[in-house]
Amino acid sequence: MSVLTCVIESMGSSCSRPHSLNEAEATENAKSADIDRRILQETKAEQHIHKLLLLGAGESGKSTIFKQIKLLFQTGFDETELRSYTSVIHANVYQTIKILYDGAKELAQVEPDSSKYLLSLDNQEIGEKLSEIGARLDYPLLNKELVQDVRKLWQDPAIQETYSRGSILQVPDCAQYFMNNLDRLAEVDYLPTKEDVLHARVRTNGVVEIQFSPLGESKRGGEVYRLYDVGGQRNERRKWIHLFEGVNAVIFCAAISEYDQVLFEDETKNRMMETKELFDWVLKQRCFEKTSFMLFLNKFDIFERKIQKVPLSVCEWFKDYQPTAPGKQEVEHAYEFVKKKFEELYFQSSKPDRVDRVFKIYRTTALDQKLVKKTFKLIDESMRRSREGT
């Protein structure tokens, strides 16, 4: 082949290249435009989704609220999800009985009237067996034999006396519920009910989210919310920060029944004092300057029972509380006192330019489905009015 031919062919090849490049560029441009269009659509869709952040100290009931949202405004738990809670619920039983047995032994050594915490010899043997199981990382499924042992230990007067001191022993709130349902929990074909799932206690690690509308899945046109739940224990709180941007409302859970209890992770710290300090810290975050705050004074059902026996003044924050008449009147009086303390903290911790942000307080019991549903509809209505400027 002559040099001239090579040059001509080379020129021809060079001349055809822009044509093929134009086709490739057109394809790429079409792809890019499609991606941009989808991003724009997703961005517009995201603009209609309101971001809610569920915060609070450990054991405040946040995760129960989260599960209620799934039950109330989504399709609930399918059979696979329900079955996944079996091991959690059985673990709760073993952990509870271990806490109570070990607690009885400890109280028998330190309390003046130690005889109240001494178990019968037979029950001591059962207690050692169950305490050993409760210390494992993997627990056997409950069966009739194990349930008989758990029930026998639970009914021992020493364990019941220890249970009455549960606030100093980290006894979970679900203890009584699961102990009342032992036979059902041990059935061979046991399938947890939604009530069981709501009572089940498992600590939240990391971040979980759920998207919902208070109108429910079947109804269109309602506001859409994306709720984020994060672990409340101290070692989980570092994960909160990256979620703080772009939040429409913070739902802060405060377990008002825990005024006489100490933290799981620090037994020198009163839980209510920890909640107070945490609420104060969250209120002062710069990124929440215009963010709505919804305060859930949670676990009112437990508070209602406890206030009749344990004075509010055992908590440093409530030391100036003066009780009134016993009964329902005292419950309301104590609740209003606690509510006022949180209101004062809110206004003390909010800069003058932040006091006009939406702030609402709700009395809640996370296990009460009707109350939770009503509360979220009120939140939806409040936020809607705020957006409309009314």
Is 291 an annotated catalytic residue?
Answer: no
d(CA 57, CA 236): 10
Task: List the catalytic residue out of 64, 96, 291, 364.
Answer: 64
Is 75 an annotated catalytic residue?
Answer: no
In the annotated binding site for GTP, the residues are 59-64, 198-204, 229-233, 298-301, 366
Task: List the catalytic residue out of 233, 234, 260, 285.
Answer: 233
For 153, counting Cβ atoms within 10 Å of its Cβ (0-12 exposed, 13-18 middle, 19+ buried), the class is buried
Q: Where are the alpha helices (DSSP H) in the chain?
A: 3-47, 62-73, 79-84, 86-110, 121-134, 144-155, 157-163, 175-179, 182-185, 194-199, 271-283, 300-306, 328-349, 369-388
In the annotated binding site, the residues are 59-64, 198-204, 229-233, 298-301, 366
Task: List the catalytic residue out of 173, 229, 274, 304.
Answer: 229
**Residue 207 identity (one-letter amino acid):** V
**Residue 36 identity (one-letter amino acid):** D
CB atoms within 10 A of CB 317: 19
Task: List the catalytic residue out of 161, 201, 291, 364.
Answer: 201
Is 64 an annotated catalytic residue?
Answer: yes
Is 59 an annotated catalytic residue?
Answer: yes
Closest CA to 161 of 94, 92, 100, 99: 100
Query: Which region, left, alpha or beta, applies to residue 286 given φ > 0 means left and ψ of -120 to 50 means alpha?
Result: alpha
Closest CA to 323 of 334, 332, 309: 334
**Pairing, β 292-298 against β 49-56:** unpaired
For 152, counting Cβ atoms within 10 Å of its Cβ (0-12 exposed, 13-18 middle, 19+ buried), the class is middle
Q: Do 289 and 251 touch, CB atoms closer than 8 A?
A: no
Cβ contacts of 70 within 8 Å, gap of 6 or more:
76, 77, 210, 212
In the annotated binding site for Mg(2+), the residues are 63, 204
Is 364 an annotated catalytic residue?
Answer: no
Catalytic site residues? 59, 64, 201, 229, 233
